[in-house]
Amino acid sequence: MSDSPDATLIGLALEKLLNDSDLDKVIGCLTETPEEKEQHPSLRLLHLRFNEDIPDIDGLADHLSSASMDYVLSRRRRDAFYLELSKAKNSSLRAVPKMMRAVKDAFIEFRSAYPERASEVGEVLAYSVALQHLGAAQLVSKMSLKTSHNMPVHGLDGIHARFEGGVLTVFFLESKVTSTASSGGRDYAKSLAGFGSNKKQYLREYALIGDVGNLDVLKGEEREQLLEFLNPYSTKDFPKRERSIGVICYSENKLFANTIPVDDGDPRKHEEHFASLYAADRYRHQKNLSNQLEKHGVTAAKCVVYLVAVPDVAVLREEFYRAIGIEGTKSDCKKLIDDEDMEFEDE
């Protein structure tokens, strides 16, 4: 293989692994000013879409339950299900319940083994954000690994990649589901600092890509080039960068409670009203994140944070599990307790 990467092969390889996303139908994104785009960490403010005056939390839960099909199942298993469907006589859909059961069982098994770590809604949200906003393909199905008795539950929530302008960017996903934005920022910074200081864990994540990742559906030179690009031990001078992607879903009680009257005017004004209030809070969120990353010795320029505002994360969890057909548990719906003093820590 040449020391120079074949851009066409790398691009085609990742294109084959990239799934579609229509997350923007249920999650809106505030527009940034040129000055805001230059700030570090890069901060994107996301929020629920509205059905007139009602934040559509059910719509997000349903979207994430559908996205969990691609998130949970490895590419090889998805291809196997797809092949079975394509060979079915007279357009039979008998394979569909089997596929849905495999996804549901993965969630049930993980929740049973780790009842206090039932944060899958955040992980599926982070996966969807990576597809929609980064155009980055999933390299490893982390959920399928977490339900394996031979794999540790700890580690990154996702690994994605994008090839653009001759440069491969690897995105390390970290999701947080919390009661406040500031506590989510604190937890994200702590997790990122822990991962950054753990060389063994860092190398293990790259090993997973080659050993049990989605690349096993690629063939020949296409797969070999991408693997070489992703090899942390490679001596070849391939242009590659790494970025941390934080997806913090939090309960925005105050702003969602600030409503305007319903009338016969433009129904979009309710969402626009919320968006204007949310935008006014950008400086506070930016400052808190910057302070937390600096406190934990993290390079802010290597971080992109997506703050996702919902009325109540406990309700989102409950509706997500309902959508995939799993009965909620007390650990899912209990009120998240954070130190309220953290709201303005370091500000």
Q: Which of 40-54, 112-126, 282-296, 310-324 has the lowest mean pLDDT?
A: 112-126
Residue 229 confidence (pLDDT)? 87
CB atoms within 10 A of CB 111: 18
The answer, yes or no, to whether residue 52 has pLDDT greater than 60, is: yes
Residue 251 confidence (pLDDT)? 97
The answer, yes or no, to whether residue 66 has pLDDT greater than 90, is: yes
Residue for token pair 């505030």 = 30
pLDDT, average across residues 242-268? 97
Reply yes or no: is the peptide bond before residue 261 cis, omega within 30 of 0: no
Residue 77 confidence (pLDDT)? 86
Q: Which of 145-154, 156-165, 206-215, 260-269 has the lowest mean pLDDT?
A: 145-154
The answer, yes or no, to whether residue 299 has pLDDT greater than 60, is: yes
The answer, yes or no, to whether residue 47 has pLDDT greater than 90, is: yes
The average confidence (pLDDT) of the chain is 87
pLDDT, average across residues 295-318? 96
Domains in the chain: how many in total?
Answer: 1
Q: Name the token pair of 117.
A: 């770590």
Domain that holds residue 103: 7-344
* Residue 297 belongs to some domain of the structure: yes
More confident of the two residues 333 and 48: 48
* Residue 2 belongs to some domain of the structure: no
Residue 273 confidence (pLDDT)? 98
- 3-class SS at 246? strand
Buried b (16+ CB within 10 A) or exposed e, 68-101: bbbbbbbbeebeebeeeeeeeeeeeeebeeebbe
* Residue 29 belongs to some domain of the structure: yes
Share of the chain above pLDDT 70, in %: 87
The answer, yes or no, to whether residue 320 has pLDDT greater than 90, is: yes
Q: Please, which pLDDT band fits residue 176 given cuts at 50, 70 and 90?
A: very high
pTM of the model: 0.90
The answer, yes or no, to whether residue 347 has pLDDT greater than 70, is: no
Residue 147 confidence (pLDDT)? 52
Helix ranges, 162-310 (H): 181-196, 199-212, 220-230, 253-257, 269-280, 282-295
Residue 2 confidence (pLDDT)? 52
Residue 103 confidence (pLDDT)? 86
Residue 153 confidence (pLDDT)? 47
* Residue 1 belongs to some domain of the structure: no
Residue 99 confidence (pLDDT)? 85
Q: For residue 158, what are the CA distances in angstroms to 208, 246, 266, 304, 333?
A: 11, 11, 39, 14, 24
Q: What angle do CA 111, 131, 281 make, to 5 degrees?
A: 85
Q: Which of 26-35, 96-105, 285-294 has the lowest mean pLDDT?
A: 96-105
- 3-class SS at 88? coil
Share of the chain above pLDDT 90, in %: 56
The answer, yes or no, to whether residue 54 has pLDDT greater than 50, is: yes
